[in-house]
Every structure is written in C-alpha cells, then in structure tokens.
C-alpha cells in the first residue's frame, strides 16, 4: 500500500480528477457506481470511423482480447476494450500502469446521446483509501498498487493509439 494524496474536486453534483495519458489531459469523474473505469474513444482520439472500429475488432479477435459489455444509466449498452496505459498521472500522482476500458461501440445508439465520457470506476477506487465529509472534496490518501490489476487480456496503449488515432 503506497501513501498518496489525490483530491477529487467537487464539480457540481460530481467529483473529478485530472488524468494525464501521454499528451492527453482530461477530467475523469469519480464514479463509485461504475464497476469499471471506462473512457469513450472520442475523448482520447476524436471521432472514430467504422474502418477504425473494424480494425480494432479484428486486432482484438486475433489477440484474444474480449470486449466487455456495459450498460449506461440511460439504458444503452456499449462495448469496451480492455487497455493498459503506462506512466499515467492522476492529479499529478504517477501510476506505472492504469487500466480502463475504451468504449467505441454503442449497441443502441438511439438511446445513447452522450458519446464523450470518462468514469473512474470501482476497479480503481476499490484500491484507494479515501475519506469524504459532507459537502467537501474527496481525499485519497493511499493506493494498493499490488491489488490493482485487470483480470482480462488487455491491449497496450501503443496498440490502441495506432488503431484509433487520427493523425
């Protein structure tokens, strides 16, 4: 268990932290209701073409990477692909590895109006020691790096970047 200090800032009705993945900086919602950390591909890579989606699916099939289905609060279903990113910062704190699911497919796009989202889920939060007092920010004070893992076979950040980046 490593000692750390990360503050999830209250932003309206939710809490956010800053996530630095390579040159990308994004706000990610602290979401205890999300089982897994999920980030839509559009947040990281912009609009994704059907050709890019097909290339990603073929790559995953060839490499034994199985997408996971998620259901949004809107009732829409989406598929996320497991990815491991190296050397990610959460509010300036360095993590040697960061696991998430990159969502590119919405199975019922009529229900899903939100195409850009980033949720820090319970797979990450379950490894955190944190405190939260009413009407205050959430303070993360430790992280179980050894207990933080992904059970599935995942693709590397380099591979997904090559498959989905637009330029």
Of 62, 60, 65, 148, nearest to 99 by C-alpha is 148
For Cα atoms 65, 70, 72, give the angle at the middle one, nearest 5 degrees: 155
Alpha-carbon distance of 76 to 70, in angstroms, equals 8
Percent of the chain with pLDDT over 90: 47
> In this structure, what token pair is assigned to residue 50?
């059907």
Cα 25 to the chain's mean position, in Å? 13
Q: How confident is the model at residue 12 (pLDDT cuts 50, 70, 90)?
A: confident
Q: Domains in the chain: how many in total?
A: 1
What are 23-69's pLDDT values in tens digits?
Answer: 889 999 988 888 999 998 888 888 888 898 899 999 999 999 999 99
**Domain carrying residue 43:** 2-164
| Residue 121: CATH number of its domain | 2.40.70.10
CA–CA distance, 149 with 22 (Å, rounded to integer): 20
Helix (H, G, I), strand (E, B) or coil at 57: helix
């Amino acid at each position: 268990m490593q000692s750390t200090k990360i503050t999830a800032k209250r932003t309206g009705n939710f809490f956010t932290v800053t996530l630095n993945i390579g040159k990308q900086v994004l706000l990610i919602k602290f979401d205890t209701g999300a089982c897994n950390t999920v980030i839509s591909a559009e947040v990281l890579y912009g609009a994704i073409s059907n050709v890019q989606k097909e290339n990603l699916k073929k790559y995953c099939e060839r490499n034994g990477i199985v997408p996971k289905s998620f259901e949004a609060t809107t009732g829409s279903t989406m598929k996320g692909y497991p990815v491991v990113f190296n050397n990610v910062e959460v509010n300036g704190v360095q993590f040697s590895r960061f696991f998430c699911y990159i969502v590119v497919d919405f199975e019922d796009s009529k229900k899903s109006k939100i195409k850009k989202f980033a949720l820090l889920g319970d797979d990450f939060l379950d490894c955190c020691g944190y405190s939260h007092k009413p009407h205050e920010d959430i303070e993360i004070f430790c992280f179980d790096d050894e207990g933080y893992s992904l059970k599935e076979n995942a693709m590397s950040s380099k591979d997904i970047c090559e498959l989905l980046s637009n330029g």
